[in-house]
Each structure stands twice: as structure tokens, then as C-alpha cells.
Amino acid sequence: MNYNEQSKNSIFNIQHSALKSPLLNAKGISHDFDYPLFNNINLTLNPKETIAIIGMSGCGKSTLLNIFCSLLQPNVGDVYFKDKNIFQLSQKEMLELRRDDFGIIFQAHYLFRGFSADENLKIAEFLSGNKIDDDLIEALNIKHVISQGIGELSGGQQQRLSIARVLTKKPKIIFADEPTGNLDQDTAKEVMNVLFDYVSKQNAGMILVTHDKEIAFSCDKVYKLVDQTLEQIK
């Protein structure tokens, strides 16, 4: 093998192993508030993979997602991003992880209310150093409302704007809690296509909580949170 082939091979191996090692690994997660919510949950998310979590209202899906995305420390268990135990990071490392690597899309979206849609995107652009992707704005069908103030957008438009804002920073993992909850079926499908497309093009991963079975089953894997445990049903 000549030098060129060797270096090509090693680049391939690096890329290959980066694609194979998990993005997120949750080990032995247990948590309770007034009563036990779940016990000994394990979950692995690989690059390019999308995972849906379904389950009855109040069973603990949002709580579990909050744990996976670093916002809530579980009573027991660890969550690893790549090889880092996220609950052992310093405060500075934790902020960097949330700013650079994790994209959190929750129903209560945190848009800056005194600003226009466009200004909200510019802020994301400024904070992340990444350009807003115009195709994304078009695909999310919010181009026509881009100069309007946040208060003048519908709930679904705000939701799509917050998705655009999160994707602008190019996160490695998207955590989404009912991201299509405010949307009609057609718009919901389009938003999901934007998210799936993002995951596949960026070698990212996604963990999604939803009540919509059709959307859940369009993910690679589906887990049901039931009897305090995650049961894989796809």
C-alpha cells in the first residue's frame, strides 16, 4: 500500500469510527418526584439515528428528555455525550455543551419577544457563528413572516421559528419534546422532514417525544415508556 492509500484508509477509519461511536449513552437512569417515574433506563443514540419516545400523559417522557439533554440531573445513573459524563462537567463545559452540541426544542420555546423573527435568527447566527440557511427558512414556510414581531406570529409559526433557530447552530443532537404539537398534519410532516433531513446530512442524532404514532414510527427506533421502563417497539 502506498502512502496515499494508507492515509486515505486512515481518514476513512477515523470517519468510520466517528460514525460508529454513540453520540449519547444513558446508563441506569432512575428518577422519582413524589413517586418513582422510571427505573434503570438505558438508551444509546448513534449518529444519523432518530429515536421516538411515546407513552401515556404523565408517565415521565418530558422528565426523561430533560435528563438526556442535561437540564435535570437524575437521582441515579449517568448520561454520556460521546465519552463525556455530562453531569460531571464543569459549569463552563456544561454551558458549552448546551450552546454548541445540544439543540433543545421544547414546546415552551424561548424566543426573544421584543424582537422580530428575523432578529431572533440573527441572534442565533451571532451566538453560533453559523449562517442561517435560507433553504431551511423556506422549507419551514416562515419566509413570509420573517420581519414580523414574535407576538404577531401564530403558535405554529413560533414553533417553526424556534426550530430554525436551533438548527442554525448546527447541534450534534436534537432533543425535541412534541415539536409538532401546535401544527396541522401537513405542516407537521414538513417540519419532521426538515428535522430528518438535518439529522442525515449533519450526521447528527435526534430524540423525539411525541403523542403522534405516525410521526413516532417514522423514526428509526420507537420506545414506549411504560411500567417505569423503556420498552422498544420498533
Ligand X SMILES: Nc1ncnc2c1ncn2[C@@H]1O[C@H](COP(=O)(O)OP(=O)(O)OP(=O)(O)O)[C@@H](O)[C@H]1O
Point out which residues bind ligand X (CB under 6 A): 33, 37, 55, 57-63
Strands 229-232 and 221-226 turn out to be: antiparallel
- By beta-carbon proximity to Mg ion, the closer residue of 107 and 141 is 107
Q: Which helix (DSSP H) or strand (DSSP E) does residue 52 occupy? A: strand 50-54
Select the binding partner of residue 126 from ligand X, Mg ion, none (C-beta < 5 to 8 A, by kind): none
Closest by CA to 109, choosing from 53, 27, 165, is 165
Closest by CA to 24, choosing from 55, 62, 64, is 64
Select the binding partner of residue 47 from Mg ion, ligand X, none (C-beta < 5 to 8 A, by kind): none
Least gap, CB of 166 to Mg ion (angstroms): 18
Select the binding partner of residue 33 from Mg ion, ligand X, none (C-beta < 5 to 8 A, by kind): ligand X
Q: What order do you get walking across the sheet with 84-85 strand by strand?
A: 36-45, 24-32, 76-81, 84-85
Least gap, CB of 63 to ligand X (angstroms): 3
- By beta-carbon proximity to ligand X, the closer residue of 37 and 191 is 37
Interacting residues with Mg ion (CB under 5 A): 62
- By beta-carbon proximity to ligand X, the closer residue of 33 and 126 is 33
Select the binding partner of residue 156 from ligand X, Mg ion, none (C-beta < 5 to 8 A, by kind): none
Question: By Cβ distance, which residue is nearest to Mg ion?
Answer: 62
Distance of alpha carbon 136 from alpha carbon 115, whole angstroms: 20
Least gap, CB of 209 to Mg ion (angstroms): 6
Least gap, CB of 186 to Mg ion (angstroms): 24
Least gap, CB of 118 to Mg ion (angstroms): 30
- By beta-carbon proximity to Mg ion, the closer residue of 63 and 70 is 63
User: For the stretch 43-71, what's the b/e string if a residue is b when 16 or more beta carbons lie within 10 angstroms of its beta carbon?
Assistant: bebbbbbbbbbbbeeebbbbbbbbbbbbe
Kindly report the number of other CB atoms within 10 A of residue 22's CB atom: 17
- By beta-carbon proximity to ligand X, the closer residue of 62 and 218 is 62
Residues near 83 by Cβ (< 8 Å), separated by ≥ 6? none
Least gap, CB of 60 to ligand X (angstroms): 4
Residues near 200 by Cβ (< 8 Å), separated by ≥ 6? 48
Q: How far is CA 153 from CA 95, 99, 135, in A?
A: 29, 25, 20
Select the binding partner of residue 57 from Mg ion, ligand X, none (C-beta < 5 to 8 A, by kind): ligand X
Select the binding partner of residue 60 from Mg ion, ligand X, none (C-beta < 5 to 8 A, by kind): ligand X
- By beta-carbon proximity to Mg ion, the closer residue of 67 and 136 is 67
